[in-house]
Amino acid sequence: MGPGSARFLLRSFKRILAVNTQVLEHMARMDRVLGGEYVFDRAFLDSAVRTVCGLTYQVVYHLNGMAGEAYVELYDAFLAVKDGLEDILAGGLGPLAKRRVLPFSELGWEMEPLAGMCAVGLAELKYRLGLSVPDGLAVTVTGLADLLGQDQEAALEEIRAGVQSLYADLGGPRALTLTLTAAGPNGQGRILAETRVQGAEEAAAALTTLVQAQDLNGPMAACLRPEVPALVRGTLQTLAHDPGLPPAMRIQASPPADPEARDRVWLTRAAPHPFLRSRIAPKPLPESQALSLARDGFMRGSAWLDPDQAAQLAEMGLACERTLGRPCVLAWTLDPKRVLWIDGVEAVTQIFPEQDETVASPPDPDQALLSGGQMARGGVAAGPVVQVTEDTGPESVPLGAIGVARAATPGLSRLLPRLGALLTEVGSPASHLATVAREAHIPALFGIKGAFSLTPGSLVTVDADQGLVFPGAVDSLLGQAATPGSGVGDDPEYLLLGRLLRLIRPLNLLDPRDPDFRAESCRTCHDIIHFAHEKAVELLLDLDAGHRSGLGAAVRLEEDSPFPLEVVDLGDGLADAPGPLTLAQVESRPLRAFLEGLLLKDVRRQTPARLSLRDIMAGLTRTGAALSLSPGETGRNLAIAARDYANISLRLGYHFSVVDAVVSDRPEHTFIYFRFAGGFADADRRARRAELILGVLERLDFAASRSGDLVVGKRKLMEADEALDVLRLLGALSAFTRQLDVDMISEQDIGRLIREFMDLARPVLGPALKSDREAP
Amino acid sequence: METRTPDRARTSILMLDDEPIVCKRLRPFFQKAGYEAEAYSSPLEALERVKARRFDVVITDLKMEGLDGLTFLEKVKVLHPDTDVIVITGFATMETARESFRKGVFDFVAKPFKLTEILDVVRRIEKERGLHP
């Protein structure tokens, strides 16, 4: 059995599959550790990186073995990722460490050591939470170090170019606020200097002056963003310990023209954030603004901010605190249209008192409204209950609310950054949504019964660490959670793990048809193993039938299938019986389950497709070669099957779908990968069918995404029976959606046909279709 | 919301790990679960504390600067034979596990571990000893 022989290719392919699964398991474990469910130490990080790198290298090696070293560039991509990981472990600044200037759109919380707390905090609030925050850029630790070194001219040029690019996005030059902060792994986000600049040239010059004037013996970063016109300006400190008060939030407010006329207000950290204390500065008021005594005893109308604005600010502050993992000070501006903007973020420099353990006595678990569930991400949060579904718009979710849902479906991920915590009745900490909760630092409990029955609008406190939900705001829990250092995510190890995962977990290469789907484009371990998997499948499918030495020939399935299908047995996939191949002879568990769904006549649509001339013309422009990976296989449907594995490629001339599945008795080895692309109808209708498929996949807990008519979905870590149910459903879906694109005339057809499919499939595939996953 | 008022002595736990992140995760977790919990990153400080008072449960790392976990375990057992010791380590081998059990360890938990895993071990101790959190 030499390189290039069918058996060698098969053996290498199986190794790639096995090692890919191991990498995915390790990635999932690292991801779950990030959620606070596990206790770990530095040695775990070193060992996890070493293991993932070792396994990823094996994948690269086996692919090159299969392909006759045709993907040597994948070794280079692997080395770049490995070097990046080792650099981070050694205290380096990560994959973007060489960048001198980074726009907010490229920043994430784990880049704080490189870009500084101010820029990273504003970027997160703007791009992840969608709050009113001016766009801007960071001059990185590298950029400022170069300003003081031999590369000063190059650094200045990049800063000027960055500002010009920002102006282009803003629609013209504006006055900018320039903030210099302490950065690096131990920078803590302290503001060193702040000034106002006008134009790219002045920004670069002012930055040089400020940096040269600092005697800080450590890394610095800068943040540049446009100045917001102000009626009132101020700060919000998300955690303030003041005598006589519980841990609170503190707001200061004054008009730009009169900084001495400063109001100070202390609010509770739990919604709806009533005032605990206020010190309102005396100020002249317009005659029309009469004072009145409110029910709470405060004089209404004299403060610069009203209670609703203060509460809104408080929620913005808590959202920022969740993102950064520790208390912070936000600079805010109320503009002439009375819109609140966040335009600065700084670390809290106050010395916090030692936690008083008598205050932190825990609540009685017997008083909990709910208990149980699995921790997807630890932490404590209090807020009003809001029911969320996949159809809930982010704008309708109050910032900091406790979201309750029936199932942890991936579609909820866009709501997560706005939530204080998330509870779902069904779901797994290994799901895509759990990963997003960990990324967004949102406490989350999945599988907690009764969550969806909590009264909307009622105030509750979620303790995700203990799996408990209490009525009202539990001060002891909130006080303990507010103690710096007590939360998940504010330790250097968590920051380090988050930065490591950035080079391991994201999957950037999704579409094999994309010209950028190349070895050189792999930027993470996940990219590398996915690329290798795709290419290995291609290599197998490209095997010339005449040269399948030692492999069984492709056998045609003799059943009433919606389309012809041939099966190649990898070993133990088909029974050794004479005569035509029928479903009864399929011993491959995943293939058999898929075929059971595919062959269900009840789920097939009976009405013929309504083809228009436009469809026919559109279809003629897309040949099978353009849509499939292997022109030689166009129009041929092939399944490669072993006892626990199946790779099913359906190439129906105008659409192409792949199901790749391992069904093992060990849930951590089980995965299902589904990809669908193409169609005959025009682009809009193809996209609608893709949306339909996406909708069904998401209801089946797939981590799925759509780009045009391409849908890619993955599910991992499940019990064998559940995986087989899902595969039956995918088989039925493949039959149901055949030629369906031409019937999808309007957007309403998406929801209608999802319902139609669910209704058809439910009687025969009930177990996979839980009621909480039904179409709306 | 009422907070829990202990009507009898809570189970006391001393935690020792020279990596601060481990203590930072364990201490508030056990406190919230109703335990009396103290955490130390320095083996010598922890030893002083154990000399000063008895704990129901000691949770200790194995590999530490200054004093290794097995020696600490031995000293605890000499001072307080009825204190149950749980060893946590990122370098679990059969040899160290065997040695730990020979020295009287109650259980051995490999890092990384789930918070609920170590809570289960503590609850087993409470059950066997008739203690209450």
- Verify cis geometry, omega within 30 degrees of 0, for the bond prior to A256: no
Strands annotated E in A65-159: 101-103, 137-139
Q: Do A472 and A511 belong to one domain?
A: no
* Residue A345, in any domain of the structure: no
Both tokens assigned to A287: 């005659």
Q: Which residue of B has its CA nearest to A476?
A: B3
Both tokens assigned to A311: 């509460």
Say if the Cβ atoms of A40 and B29 lie within 8 Å.
Answer: no
* Residue A144, in any domain of the structure: yes
Q: Do A392 and A464 belong to one domain?
A: yes
The B-side interface with A (CB below 8 A) comprises: 1-5, 17, 19-22, 24-26, 28-29, 31-34, 88, 90-91, 111-115, 118
* Residue B73, in any domain of the structure: yes
Q: Do A597 and A514 belong to one domain?
A: no
Tell me the nearest-neighbour CA distance from B104 into chain A, angstroms.
Answer: 24
Q: What is the CA radius of gyration of chain B?
A: 14
* Residue B4, in any domain of the structure: no
User: Rounded to whole angstroms, how far apart are CA atoms A333 and A313?
Assistant: 10
Chains A, B: CB contacts within 8 A come to 89
Are the CB atoms for A471 and B1 separated by under 8 Å? yes
Q: Between B17, B20, B111, which is nearest A44 by CB?
A: B111
- What was the pLDDT predicted at A608? 45
CATH number of the domain within which A402 lies: 3.50.30.10
Residue with tokens 């004299």: A302
Contacts 24+ apart (CB under 8 A), A568-577: A568/A638, A568/A639, A568/A640, A568/A641, A569/A641, A569/A642, A570/A10, A570/A14, A570/A640, A570/A641, A570/A642, A570/A645, A571/A642, A571/A643, A572/A642, A572/A643, A573/A640, A573/A641, A573/A642, A573/A643, A573/A645, A573/A646, A574/A641
Final residue before a domain boundary, out of A182, A198, A226: A226
Number of residues that this document lists for chain B: 133
The A-side interface with B (CB below 8 A) comprises: 29, 33, 36-44, 47, 357, 360-364, 367, 461, 463, 465-466, 470-477, 480, 485-486, 488, 491-494
Q: Between B3, B20, B111, which is nearest A39 by CB?
A: B111
Tell me the nearest-neighbour CA distance from B102 into chain A, angstroms.
Answer: 26
| Residues of B whose CB is below 8 A from A42 | 19, 21
- What was the pLDDT predicted at A629? 35
What separation in angstroms does the CA of A432 have from each of A429, A726, B34?
A: 8, 17, 33
User: Rounded to whole angstroms, how far apart are CA atoms A37 and A438?
Assistant: 11
Residue with tokens 């053996």: A11
Q: Which residues neighbour A546 within 8 Å (Cβ) at sequence distance 6 or greater?
A: none
Tell me the nearest-neighbour CA distance from B15 into chain A, angstroms.
Answer: 13
Q: Which residue of A has its CA nearest to B36?
A: A357
Tell me the nearest-neighbour CA distance from B9 into chain A, angstroms.
Answer: 14
Say if the Cβ atoms of B4 and A43 lie within 8 Å.
Answer: no
* Residue A236, in any domain of the structure: no
Q: Between B4, B31, B113, which is nearest A39 by CB?
A: B113
Number of residues that this document lists for chain A: 776
Say if the Cβ atoms of B1 and A363 lie within 8 Å.
Answer: yes
Boundaries of domain holding B120: 12-128
- What was the pLDDT predicted at A768? 52
What separation in angstroms does the CA of B58 have from each of A38, A41, A628, B21, B108?
A: 19, 19, 62, 17, 12
Do the strands A101-103 and A191-198 form a parallel or antiparallel pair, or are they unpaired?
unpaired
* Residue B1, in any domain of the structure: no
* Residue A445, in any domain of the structure: yes
* Residue B7, in any domain of the structure: no
Q: Between A41, A461, A475, which is nearest B19 by CB?
A: A41
Q: Which residue of A has its CA nearest to B10?
A: A361
Q: Which residues neighbour A454 within 8 Å (Cβ) at sequence distance 6 or greater?
A: A369, A370, A385, A402, A404, A423, A460, A469
CATH number of the domain within which B94 lies: 3.40.50.2300
Q: Which residue of B has its CA nearest to A34?
A: B112
Phi, psi of A641 (to 5 degrees): -135, 140
Q: Do A666 and A756 belong to one domain?
A: yes
Give the residue from A30, A32, A39 with the most B CB atoms within 10 Å of its CB, the best one to mutate.
A39
Q: Between A39, A42, A364, which is nearest B25 by CB?
A: A39
- Please, what sign has the CA dihedral across residues A293, A299, A302, A304? negative
Give the residue from A41, A463, A474 with the most B CB atoms within 10 Å of its CB, the best one to mutate.
A41
Q: How far is Cα of residue B77 from the mean position of the Cα atoms in its chain?
A: 13
Domains: count for chain B: 1
Are the CB atoms for A680 and A738 separated by under 8 Å? no
Q: Do A89 and A119 belong to one domain?
A: no
Q: Helix B43-52 crosses helix B69-79 at what angle (to 10 degrees)?
A: 10
Q: Using alpha carbons, select from A765, A766, A737 the residue that is nearest to residue A753.
A: A737
pLDDT, tens digit, 9 for 90 and up, residues A683-732: 676 777 788 888 888 888 888 877 767 788 888 778 888 899 999 999 98
Domains: count for chain A: 4
Q: Do A734 and A656 belong to one domain?
A: yes
Say if the Cβ atoms of B112 and A40 lie within 8 Å.
Answer: yes
Boundaries of domain holding A431: 368-482
- What was the pLDDT predicted at A159? 94
* Residue A296, in any domain of the structure: no
Say if the Cβ atoms of A362 and B26 lie within 8 Å.
Answer: no
| Residues of B whose CB is below 8 A from A476 | 1, 3
Residue with tokens 């770049």: A80
Q: 10-residue block means of pLDDT along chain A (776 residues)? A: 69 83 84 85 93 97 94 95 92 84 90 91 89 95 90 93 93 93 79 92 92 84 95 92 82 91 89 86 62 54 83 90 82 94 85 50 85 90 90 86 88 86 86 82 92 93 92 83 64 84 82 83 92 83 51 80 84 83 93 92 59 40 34 58 86 69 84 76 70 85 77 83 91 79 65 81 60 39
Q: Which residue of A has its CA nearest to B118?
A: A39
| Residues of A whose CB is below 8 A from B88 | 39
Say if the Cβ atoms of B4 and A485 lie within 8 Å.
Answer: no
Q: Give CA torsion, residues A736, A738, A741, A745, to 10 deg.
A: -50
| Residues of A whose CB is below 8 A from B31 | 357, 360, 362, 480
Tell me the nearest-neighbour CA distance from B125 into chain A, angstroms.
Answer: 20
Q: Do A513 and A560 belong to one domain?
A: no
pLDDT, tens digit, 9 for 90 and up, residues A334-357: 999 999 999 999 977 665 555 444
| Residues of B whose CB is below 8 A from A463 | 32
- What was the pLDDT predicted at A680? 52
| Residues of A whose CB is below 8 A from B21 | 40-42, 491-494
User: Rounded to whole angstroms, how far apart are CA atoms A705 and A710?
Assistant: 8
Q: Do A603 and A648 belong to one domain?
A: yes
- Please, what sign has the CA dihedral across residues A602, A608, A614, A615? positive
Q: Indicate the DSSP class of residue A125.
A: I
- A344, β-bridge pairs: A331
Other C-beta atoms lying within 10 Å of the C-beta of residue A307: 19
Phi, psi of A560 (to 5 degrees): -80, 70
Q: Do A599 and A655 belong to one domain?
A: yes
Q: Please report, in tens digits, the pLDDT of each residue of chain B (133 residues total).
A: 544 544 457 899 999 999 888 998 899 889 888 899 999 999 999 999 999 999 999 999 988 887 888 899 999 999 999 999 999 987 767 787 788 888 889 998 988 898 889 999 999 999 988 876 5
Tell me the nearest-neighbour CA distance from B4 into chain A, angstroms.
Answer: 5
The number of CA neighbours under 13 Å toward the Cβ of B117 is 16
Grouping H, G, I as helix, E, B as strand and the rest as coil, residue A605 is coil
- Please, what sign has the CA dihedral across residues A519, A506, A116, A205? positive
Say if the Cβ atoms of B2 and A364 lie within 8 Å.
Answer: yes
Grouping H, G, I as helix, E, B as strand and the rest as coil, residue A269 is coil
Grouping H, G, I as helix, E, B as strand and the rest as coil, residue A180 is strand
Q: Between A37, A471, A473, which is nearest B115 by CB?
A: A37
Residue with tokens 């739990």: A270
Q: Do A712 and A617 belong to one domain?
A: yes
User: Rounded to whole angstroms, how far apart are CA atoms A88 and A107?
Assistant: 17
Q: Do A654 and A681 belong to one domain?
A: yes
Q: Do A700 and A607 belong to one domain?
A: yes
